[in-house]
Every structure is written in structure tokens, then in C-alpha cells.
């Protein structure tokens, strides 16, 4: 697995970009507060109803991002999505994909660090979606927990979203894929859906400024785990995601 890095140049940050990004942030924070309490109150409802309600928060913020920052998106490769629940191995560059995946893909759960559930308002709503929240410091027990809970979620008809790099990686940079998602596919036989995008070119990790343009989210051909080891699954997903990501980064255009 290659670890070659490329220097990425971003447009200059103007006062207009700061103002537009601030307006988005205000709407983002306000919508989080507005959705948090009703989301908690949906807990007695079946999962599909909870998910349908809470995912409207993501849908609103994607719309608000387009209105305030002129940052929109396009999806390629929808025809690759399988009809059965799958394990998604997605590139992680920014907060954008955590919104978009809720809108683009079927009802899902995420693998995430449990500390996110402790965040006031945001974490409360997140907990209602029953994510697979693990303690990343306890590596061996965390993997067992993920595999057991991931298998149960797939049986319940939910897709499992994994960011295999484990953290947000800046555009132009590469990090190895951790094996958890591939191990879950090997264990359950669930198809693997690789996803690439160029969100980090418009919304940098830990970045406040949103650069206008179009994020392209590209869904790759399904990787069948049949006859493959977890290492082989990971290698195929990594190779496709990295090539597709570099292509999308290279074609990025800004509307500044």
C-alpha cells in the first residue's frame, strides 16, 4: 500500500468566504440544538422511524451548505449499490461525508469512538441511531465488540459505515486502512462498497472555511468477500478508493 503524499493548494480565504462559512455554522449549530431533544424522544420508536427523522438533520445541513456556501454535491455510481445490507469503506477527509452518507445510502450505523456520544446535543441524537461505539484504547476487545455488533446490525438490515483510516486524512495524503471493516465482511459474507470523494478539497479537516464548488461522491463496484481474506478485501478497497480519490481531487474546481 503506497503512502505517497501530494501537496494541495487551496484558494485564498476572503472575507466573503468567512462570512458565508459563519452563516452556515450558525445554521448548523442551531439545527443541532433543535433536532437534539426530539431525536431523543424518538427512542421508543422502531429504528426505521428514528433514522428517518434524525437523518432529516443531515439533509437540512446539506441543503443549507448549498444555500450559504454554494457547496453542492453530485453522486456517481449509484448503480453499484447492492440490494442487501453492506459494509461501506469510505474515504474520510472532512465532516461533509458524515452528512452525505445519511442521505445517499440506506439506513445505516457507524463505527465510531464512544467519546462522540458524550457531546451534548449532538451525541444524544447520535446515540439514538445505535452506532457501534467502541473504546479505541482497548484494541482487542474493541475489535471483538465491533465484529459482534456489526454482524447483529447487518442481520437487522442496517448498513455498516466504516472510515477505515480511523481519522480524517487531508487531501493529497494517504493512510493505511485498518482491518475492522474487512474482517466484518470476511466474517459475515456481506458485500463491501468502497466510496471515494473530494470533500476535503472544499471542507478541510478541522477547517472552518467552506470553499464553493461541487463535491463528487463516487461509489465503487462492490467487492465480494467470497474466497478473499480480510487482508485481500482491504487491499482491493484501498487501491480503488485511493485511485478514485486522487482523480476526484485532480478534477476539483472552485467557484470562488
- Position 2 scores a pLDDT of 46
| Concatenated DSSP letters of 114-169 | GGGGGSTTHHHHHHHT--EEE-TTSHHHHHHHHHHHHHHHHHTT-EEEE-TTSS--
- pLDDT tens string, the chain, 256 residues long: the values are 445 688 788 999 999 999 999 999 999 999 999 998 899 899 899 999 999 999 999 999 999 999 999 999 999 999 999 999 999 999 999 999 999 999 999 999 998 888 888 888 778 888 889 999 888 777 778 899 999 999 999 999 999 999 999 999 999 999 999 999 999 999 999 999 999 999 999 999 989 999 999 999 999 999 999 999 999 999 999 999 999 999 999 999 998 7
Which residues sit opposite 90 in a β-bridge?
195
Q: What phi, psi does 232 have (nearest 5°)?
A: -65, -40
List the CATH code of the domain at 15-250. Answer: 3.40.1130
Contact 160, 180 (CB under 8 A): no
Q: What is the dihedral of CA 215, 221, 225, 231, to 10 degrees?
A: -60
Cut 0.85: pTM above it: yes
- Position 1 scores a pLDDT of 44
DSSP 3-state assignment of 8? Answer: coil
Grid cell listed for 231:
487482508
In the chain, where the domains are located = 15-250
**Which DSSP symbol is given to 47?**
H
Strand order in the sheet with 87-90: 71-76, 213-219, 192-197, 87-90, 159-162, 108-113, 132-134
- How far is it, in rounded angstroms, from Cα 39 to Cα 125? 5
- How far is it, in rounded angstroms, from Cα 36 to Cα 94? 22
Contact 43, 184 (CB under 8 A): no
Grid cell listed for 18:
468567512
- Position 136 scores a pLDDT of 72
- Position 94 scores a pLDDT of 96
Cα four-point dihedral sign 108, 129, 163, 26: positive
Element (H, E) at 65: helix 47-69
Amino acid at each position: 500500500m503506497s503512502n505517497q503524499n501530494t501537496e494541495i493548494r487551496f484558494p485564498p480565504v476572503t472575507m466573503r468566504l468567512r462570512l458565508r462559512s459563519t452563516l452556515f455554522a450558525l445554521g448548523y449549530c442551531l439545527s443541532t440544538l433543535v433536532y437534539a431533544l426530539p431525536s431523543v424522544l424518538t427512542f421508543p420508536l422502531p429504528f426505521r422511524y428514528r433514522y428517518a427523522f434524525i437523518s432529516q438533520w443531515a439533509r437540512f445541513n446539506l441543503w443549507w451548505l448549498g444555500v450559504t456556501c454554494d457547496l453542492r454535491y453530485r453522486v456517481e455510481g449509484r448503480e453499484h449499490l447492492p440490494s442487501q445490507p453492506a459494509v461501506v469503506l469510505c474515504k474520510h477527509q472532512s465532516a461533509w461525508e458524515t452528512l452525505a452518507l445519511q442521505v445517499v445510502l440506506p439506513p445505516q450505523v457507524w463505527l465510531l469512538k464512544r467519546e462522540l456520544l458524550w457531546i451534548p446535543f449532538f451525541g444524544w441524537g447520535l446515540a439514538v441511531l445505535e452506532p457501534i461505539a467502541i473504546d479505541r484504547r482497548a484494541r482487542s476487545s474493541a475489535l471483538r465488540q465491533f465484529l459482534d455488533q456489526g454482524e447483529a446490525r447487518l442481520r437487522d438490515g442496517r448498513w455498516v459505515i466504516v472510515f477505515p483510516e480511523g481519522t480524517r486524512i487531508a487531501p493529497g495524503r494517504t493512510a493505511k486502512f485498518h482491518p475492522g471493516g474487512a474482517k466484518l465482511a470476511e466474517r459475515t459474507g456481506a458485500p463491501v462498497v468502497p466510496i471515494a470523494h473530494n470533500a476535503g478539497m472544499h471542507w478541510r479537516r478541522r477547517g472552518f472555511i467552506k470553499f464553493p464548488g461541487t463535491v463528487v461522491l463516487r461509489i465503487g463496484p462492490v467487492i465480494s468477500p467470497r474466497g478473499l481474506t480480510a487482508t485481500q478485501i482491504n487491499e482491493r478497497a484501498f487501491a480503488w478508493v485511493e485511485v478514485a480519490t486522487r482523480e476526484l481531487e485532480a478534477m476539483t474546481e472552485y467557484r470562488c
